[in-house]
Amino acid sequence: MSENDTTAPDTGALPATQSSDERLWALFGHLSAFSAFIVTGLGCILGPLVIWLIKRDSMPFAADQAKEALNFNITVALACVALWIVTIATFGIGILLTLPLGIALAIAWIVFTIIAAVKANEGVAYRYPVTLRLVK
Which carries the bigger pLDDT value, residue 51 or residue 42?
51
Q: How far apart are CA 128 and CA 109, in angstroms?
A: 10
Q: How far is 115 from 124, CA to CA, in rounded Å?
A: 11
Per-residue pLDDT tens digits for 9-46: 443 444 447 788 999 999 999 999 988 777 677 778 98
Give CA–CA dist 120/30, Å, rounded. 8
| Distance from chain centroid for Cα 86 | 26
